[in-house]
Amino acid sequence: MPLTFVGLGLCDERDITLKGLEAVRNADRVYVEFYTSRLSTSLETLERTFGREIELLERRHLEEESAKLIDEARERVVVVLVPGDPMIATTHSSVVFEAKKKGVEVRIIHNASIVSAIAGVTGLHIYRFGKIATVSYPYRNTVSRTPLDVIKQNLSINAHTLLLLDLNPEPMTIEYAVELLERIDDGTLDHFAVGVARVGSDDSLAVCDKFYRLRDHDFGKPLHSIVVLARTIHITEYEFLREFANAPASLESLVE
C-alpha cells in the first residue's frame, strides 16, 4: 500500500492539483499537518471540499512517532496533506527515507510553495537566490543569529536571501521579524529588501524598500516572508520591483 504525500499549494483548498485530489478521494485514511506551513482555510473546509474526513497531525506524529504512520501504510492507502510542496520540509523527506528503508511504497504529488513562487511574485531571478533561512521566535529571550549569518553568506556571493517567518506559536509578521533582526544587526541589514504577504491569494502583496522601512508598510494578515536583495540586481529585476512592488527610485543604485 502506498504512503502518499500531497502538496496543497500556497493558499487554500482550491490549490490542490487534480492528481492530488484523486489521491485523497482514493485513500483509506487522510491526514493533514499545519506546522511546516499554513493555508488561509480551515480543516473543516478541506473536509467539506474534498468529501473526506481528515485527521490533523501534530509535529510528533511525523517525527518521533513516524513509524506508526509508516506501519499503517503497510495495510492501508494513506495520504498526508501538506501545505505548499511536501518535500520542502526536511521532516517529510526523513519520513520518505524511513518508509523506503522499510519497503513501504511512497508517492509524492508536488505543488507550488513559497520557494518556487517567490520569483514570480517579486520578479527576482530564481537562479540568483542563495540559502534560505527562517526567522524564529526568541528562545529564552535569545534571538538566533542564523538568519543574519545566512544573509551575510549570500551577500558574499551576490545572492538574494529568502527569509521564512516562524509559524509557531502564531504566524510571525514582517514588522516583528524586522524588530527581531534589528537586535542582532551589525549594519548588514542597511540594504534593500522585499516584503511579501499571502502569496498565491487574490490579495497578495509585495513591497520593496530599505529593510528597516518594511515595518512602516501595512502588509495585512500573514503569511509573510522577506527577501533581502543581493548586492546588485539585474535591470529587469529593478523594473519589475518598480512596477509591481512600489520600489523607490533609489533602488536603481543596485543595478549592475
> Does 85 show up as a binding residue in the annotation?
yes
176 is written with which cell numbers? 516583528
CA distances from 58 to 66, 80, 124, 171, 200 (A): 11, 12, 34, 16, 25
> Does 165 show up as a binding residue in the annotation?
yes
| CB-based contact 91:15 (threshold 8 Å) | no
> Does 224 show up as a binding residue in the annotation?
yes
DSSP state of 13: G
Tell me, rounded to whole angstroms, the distance of Cα 160 from its chain centroid: 16
> Does 199 show up as a binding residue in the annotation?
yes
> Does 124 show up as a binding residue in the annotation?
no
Residue 14 CB burial class (10 angstroms; 0-12, 13-18, ≥19): exposed
> Does 93 show up as a binding residue in the annotation?
no
> Does 88 show up as a binding residue in the annotation?
yes
Q: Residue 255, Cβ neighbours under 10 Å: how many?
A: 13
Q: How many angstroms separate the CA atoms of 101 and 99, rounded?
A: 5
Q: Name the binding residues for S-adenosyl-L-methionine.
A: 10, 85, 88, 113-114, 165, 199, 224
Q: Name the binding residues.
A: 10, 85, 88, 113-114, 165, 199, 224
